[in-house]
Structure 1
Amino acid sequence: MKVAVMGAGAVGCYFAGMLARVGHQVALVGRPQHVEAFNTRGLRLETKAFDETIAVKASTDAAIAADAELVLFCVKSPDTETAGAQLAPHLAPDTLVLSLQNGTDNAERLRTVMAQPVAAAVVYVATEMAGPGHVKHHGRGELVIEPAAGSRDAADALVAAGVPTEISDNVRGELWLKLILNCAYNALSAIAQLPYGKLVEGPGIPEVIAQLVTECKAVAAAEGVTLADDVDSAVRKIVQTMPGQFSSTAQDLARGKPSEIDHLNGFIVARAQAHGLSAPANLTVHALVKLIESKAQ
């Protein structure tokens, strides 16, 4: 199978590397410093089980995705429509585009600019780009995929590559569960620049996390969402399975890059207001992350 990654950062490179190491052709669309490393040295995939360098093709141009049978769409949420419009002309009509993005509405937004089948995917993985062309895996690595044309073939290929993958009829509930987990940890990890395990040791932090989650659950209920799992146990599981992980928001702020906070806690604040609810904890952490972001501009 030919697989393309649009937005070849830590998440996309991990799953692409897992597919490439079992023989699938992989083409990566990413930033220049990573593209140069991919093309000259290959993709270095470092996990606790192995450390391998895998041959891939890469470009800053979405045209390299031509003829792909599967696209892992991994750009930041604010760039969804722009990147989707750049990608669409290069794909066959039946190419499946999997949105491996944070937030709940990226697949819907992609469908407004692409005629290809689009499926949302919920991602649970702890990764980072440890250097140009070098993805480091810290833990987990599961995907939950929305039913769509091509979803079964994609899931089978991922499972065969060592990526636990399931197809769910309640991907909306899965996406909202992931959103709540991101809202619980991402902003706090970013503000403190601490990994999850250290973060929850801070005085008062478990109570703040509990308040963030309570507000999110109230908004989810107002939206008519059936959450896919027990939220409180899922919140605890993050610390148990990813204690050393810094949130993607923390990694963005550390590098002086814009984050996706508007699509995480900011989204909860906006939806709460739409339903006449208040979300003061989410409002506070969203405002603080935006303030930190403004210092880098």
Structure 2
Amino acid sequence: MKYTVIGAGAMGYRYGVLLQEVAGLDVDFIDTWQPNLDAVHRQGGVYVSRDHENRHLVPIKMFTPEEYTGSPDVWIVFVKQMQLDEVLSRCAHLFRPEQYMFTAMNGMGHIDKMRKYFSDDRLVAGTALVATVLNGPGDVDFIGAPGAGTMHMVNCTEEPDDTTLAMEQDFKTAHLNPELTRNLYGTLMAKVIFNSVVNTLCTMFSAQMGQFASYEQSDEVTRILVDEAYDACERAGIQLINTRQEEVDSVRYVSTVGNPLHYPSMYQDFSKGRPTEVDFINGYIAKLGREHGYVCHVHEFVTQQMHLAEAIRDAKARDAAKA
């Protein structure tokens, strides 16, 4: 099948490059960040490293939404939650009824935005426990050995069809390690809860995942956030794909064995002066709880702490610019 990636950031590059280089498939890229477009056009592709080594140029084809004329079988979307509405609107003229859309974005809220353009039988959602760093425009670093990381994927109908199975096989060939489930919100919320611990806390304390896990009480910290999130999900009627203990164990395993030296994507945004996706992670869990008569006090507090950190960061940047 032919794929087009919308959003050539860290994860968009990883999926697209592996599908092109490892699986040998036809892949295009669409992006709206002009420095990224300029770098790829100037270089003739994207520079790819793995664990900061073996940096090499991978030729790719990248376009703006307005320039693109291709018609893929599947769109792969990796766009920051705050930018998704605008980017989808710019791509809307390219969408066709026979196409599918796949996404494994962080946070929650994106599926409802995508439903404006694709019906549930053409939408496949997922999660990815894959560490990747965008060093800069046209320069990406895959963290972990080849084949590292895992992902889940699920039809929004919760019933996989032939195209979904073909996608699963392509992802397997690309060494993305997909696992197909039949539980949409239980699958997506498992990653939201994972990120509500690792992404947010590592960002707040400028820590690598392994540094967080090395704290002797890290499991207890994790359990506080996990338990509160599971309480909210239970009240909302969402059956998670992991038990509470499995979720705690997943945070520990990925942080100590999978990607101990990795700074999560929220930290990468925060450290570069960009807004974080905390409202779509911890904030979403807090919102879910409120909607079902349950106050997630810790997630509410963590969300506000993250916004406080953003405000202080931005104020310091303004003061430095005036100096």
Q: Structure 2 length as normaliser, TM-score?
A: 0.85
Q: What is the correspondence of 1:42-191 to structure 2 with a 5 Å cutoff? A: 42-47=45-50, 51-61=55-65, 63-64=67-68, 66-114=70-118, 117-139=122-144, 140-147=148-155, 150-191=163-204
Q: Is the 8 A contact 1:68 1:91 kept in 2?
A: no
Q: Structure 2: how far apart are the matches of 1:204 and 1:239?
A: 14
Matching residue's letter, 1:77: Q
Q: Structure 1: how far apart are the matches of 2:55 and 2:181?
A: 32
3-state DSSP class of the match of 1:178? helix
CA drift of 1:180 comes to 0.7
Q: Is the 8 A contact 2:108 2:284 kept in 1?
A: no
Q: Is the 8 A contact 2:109 2:280 kept in 1?
A: no
Partner in structure 2 of residue 208 of structure 1: 221
Cα distance change of structure 1 residues 160 and 206 upon mapping to structure 2, 3 Å threshold: closer
Q: Structure 2: how far apart are the matches of 1:63 and 1:167?
A: 34
Post-superposition CA distance 1:266-293 (Å, at most 9, x none): 1111112222222222122111111122
3-state DSSP class of the match of 1:266? helix
Partner in structure 2 of residue 3 of structure 1: 3
CA drift of 1:83 comes to 2.1
Q: Structure 1: how far apart are the matches of 2:262 and 2:110?
A: 24
Cα distance change of structure 1 residues 291 and 231 upon mapping to structure 2, 3 Å threshold: same
- Note if 1:217 corresponds to 2:230: yes
Of the three residues 252, 260, 275, the one matched with 1:258 is 275
Matching residue's letter, 2:129: Y
Partner in structure 2 of residue 34 of structure 1: 36
Partner in structure 1 of residue 16 of structure 2: 16
3-state DSSP class of the match of 1:179? helix
CA drift of 1:154 comes to 1.5
Q: Structure 1: how far apart are the matches of 2:141 and 2:69?
A: 24
Q: Structure 2: how far apart are the matches of 1:152 and 1:88?
A: 25
CA drift of 1:51 comes to 4.6
State which drifts further: 134-143 or 58-67.
58-67
CA drift of 1:232 comes to 2.1
- Identical aligned residues as a percent: 23
3-state DSSP class of the match of 2:207? coil
Cα distance change of structure 1 residues 277 and 88 upon mapping to structure 2, 3 Å threshold: same
State which drifts further: 206-215 or 62-71.
62-71
3-state DSSP class of the match of 1:146? strand
Post-superposition CA distance 1:144-197 (Å, at most 9, x none): 211355212212112122221232112321211111100111111111111111
CA RMSD, 1 decimal: 2.2
- Note if 1:235 corresponds to 2:245: no
3-state DSSP class of the match of 2:149? strand
Q: Structure 2: how far apart are the matches of 1:189 and 1:135?
A: 21
Number of aligned positions between the proteins:
297
Q: Is the 8 A contact 1:27 1:65 kept in 2?
A: no
CA drift of 1:24 comes to 2.1
Post-superposition CA distance 1:103-151 (Å, at most 9, x none): 2442232112446922111111000112321211113332221135521
Q: Structure 1: how far apart are the matches of 2:99 and 2:274?
A: 31
Q: Structure 1: how far apart are the matches of 2:84 and 2:232?
A: 24
Matching residue's letter, 2:197: A
3-state DSSP class of the match of 1:258? coil
Unaligned runs of 5+ in 1: none
Q: Is the 8 A contact 2:73 2:100 kept in 1?
A: yes
- Note if 1:247 corresponds to 2:247: no
3-state DSSP class of the match of 2:220? helix
Q: Structure 1: how far apart are the matches of 2:86 and 2:298?
A: 31
State which drifts further: 30-39 or 62-71.
62-71
Q: Structure 2: how far apart are the matches of 1:65 and 1:238?
A: 40
Matching residue's letter, 1:212: L
CA drift of 1:40 comes to 2.7
Unaligned runs of 5+ in 2: 316-323
3-state DSSP class of the match of 1:200? helix
3-state DSSP class of the match of 2:294? coil
CA drift of 1:203 comes to 6.7
Q: Structure 1: how far apart are the matches of 2:212 and 2:179?
A: 31
Q: Is the 8 A contact 1:186 1:249 kept in 2?
A: yes
CA drift of 1:89 comes to 1.5
Q: Structure 2: how far apart are the matches of 1:191 and 1:15?
A: 28
